[in-house]
Amino acid sequence: MRRENQPNNSSTNVVSEGESSRAVAYDPDEDPAFQKALRQYLSDQGIDRPFNPDTIAQSKSQTFGLQNPCTNRRGAVLDDCLAERVCTTDGGGEGVYMNVVVRQGEGPSTPWGEPMCVAAAEAEGDEEIVELPTFTLQDFRTLAVAPAASAVQPAPDTLKGMHTNAYAEAQAQQFATELGGFPVQVRAVPVQYAWDYGDGSALGPTELSGVPLEKGAWDVQTDTSHVYTETGDYAVTLTTWFYGEYSVAGGPWLPVAGLNDVASAPVPISVWRSTVRNYADDCLQNPQGTGC
């Protein structure tokens, strides 16, 4: 070996603090139960676009809102209408059931799903539609989405010309927040990964998260491995893209228009070269021999 220190040949998984060590590989045909359940839920509700970035744009022209069924009623008629729809909000206050409606572009509003209990004060306006706030990509990025754990094998040292494995471990996450006075539930699901190996080479974005090598394995080519051609000290950086779904005040689950990219802590790695001497094999006769 040629550097000041001898390399450590053991395989070390570098895992960010607070992250789980369970590997999560994104495969559309073998999704985790969380994603399958969410897909089924959206499909049952008539929203057939789960986890497909190509169809996120469709949601921008689709507006969900709350429609007051007692609009344009006055006096005793209004009182009777409201009395028939009295409910108790999650906060324990007096509420009114309002219809959830959906509008495509500038088209008419149509009923969607079950009525929603809304604070009575919010149901007294003259407007026909009370728009629900839209949870944007900017809102999504304000959440503390945990980055994927980034691992490199072998680490912290590897060899020039050898396959160095990299993989990510990420999990689906759920958050409770508030937007425009409404409670919002948000789901974040990892769907894409990209590596910068620190030497000018990169991989991704890709749906492949990589997998750890078996114990004792090394110099194994994988979908996410890399071969360094020069010695030196590098930093392997990982970026994970999360797909978002949000529900406002218990309403329908809708896609966030865009993916949230979250960077993991860099993994430092030193690349060494090996010097071979005094081997008995004749490389002309046995090119695969030790030292050839």
Summarised one tens digit per residue, pLDDT across range 186-244 is: 999 999 999 999 999 999 999 999 999 999 898 999 999 999 999 999 999 999 999 99
In a domain? residue 279? no
pLDDT for 91 equals 74
- Would you say residue 212 lies in a domain? yes
Indicate the pTM of the whole model.
0.60
Q: Please check whether residue 80 lies inside any domain of the structure.
A: yes
Q: What's the confidence (pLDDT) of residue 186?
A: 95
Tell me the average pLDDT across 109-124: 68
- Name the residue among 190, 192, 185 with its Cα closest to residue 245: 185
Which pLDDT belongs to residue 50? Answer: 40
Q: What is the pLDDT of residue 267?
A: 97
292 domain-assigned: no
Give the CATH number of the domain where residue 225 resides.
2.60.40.10
Average pLDDT over residues 11-26: 30
Q: How many residues does the chain have?
A: 292
Residue 4 lies in a domain: no
Say if residue 30's pLDDT is above 90. no
* Residue whose entry in the numeric block shows the structure tokens 């495969």: 27
Q: Tokens 């005793």 correspond to what residue?
A: 76
Is residue 101 assigned to a domain? yes
What pLDDT, on the 0 to 100 scale, is given for residue 200? 96
Res. 139: pLDDT tops 70: yes
What confidence category does residue 59 fall into, taking pLDDT thresholds of 50, 70 and 90?
Answer: low
* Percent composition of the chain: helix, strand, coil (DSSP 3-state, to 5): 15, 35, 50
Q: Among all chains, which residue has been given the structure tokens 């070996």?
A: 1
Residue 158: which residues within 8 A CB-CB, separation 6 or more?
7, 152, 164, 228, 269, 270, 271, 272
Query: Torsion angle of alpha carbons 266, 174, 59, 68, nearest 10°?
Result: -150
Terminal Cα-to-Cα distance of the chain (whole angstroms): 16
Quick one: average pLDDT of 2-10?
33
**CA–CA–CA angle 37, 41, 44 (5° rounding):** 135
What's the pLDDT at 7?
31
Top mean-pLDDT range of 90-104, 105-119, 217-231, 243-257: 217-231
- Give Cα separations from 138 to 15, 22, 43, 205, 215 (angstroms): 28, 29, 26, 21, 42
Query: Can you give the pLDDT at residue 250?
Result: 75
Given a cut of 50, is residue 65 above it in pLDDT?
yes
Average pLDDT over residues 28-50: 44
Number of domains the chain is built from: 1
Sign of the C-alpha dihedral computed for residues 276, 279, 281 and 283 taken in this order: positive
pLDDT above 50: residue 282: yes
Contact 207, 27 (CB under 8 A): yes
Cis peptide before 154 (omega within 30 of 0): yes
What's residue 266's pLDDT?
97
User: In the prediction, which pLDDT does 11 show?
Assistant: 29
Cβ atoms of 215 and 208 closer than 8 Å: no
Q: Is residue 13 part of a domain?
A: no
User: Could you tell me the residue range of the domain that residue 106 belongs to?
Assistant: 33-272
Does residue 70 fall inside a structural domain? yes
Region of poorest pLDDT, from 86-100, 114-128, 214-228, 261-275: 114-128
149-194 pLDDT, tens digit per residue, is 999 999 999 999 999 999 999 999 999 998 877 789 999 999 999 9
Whether a cis peptide bond, with omega within 30° of 0, leads into 133 is no
Mean pLDDT rounded to a whole number for the chain: 75
Band (56; pLDDT cuts 50, 70, 90): very low
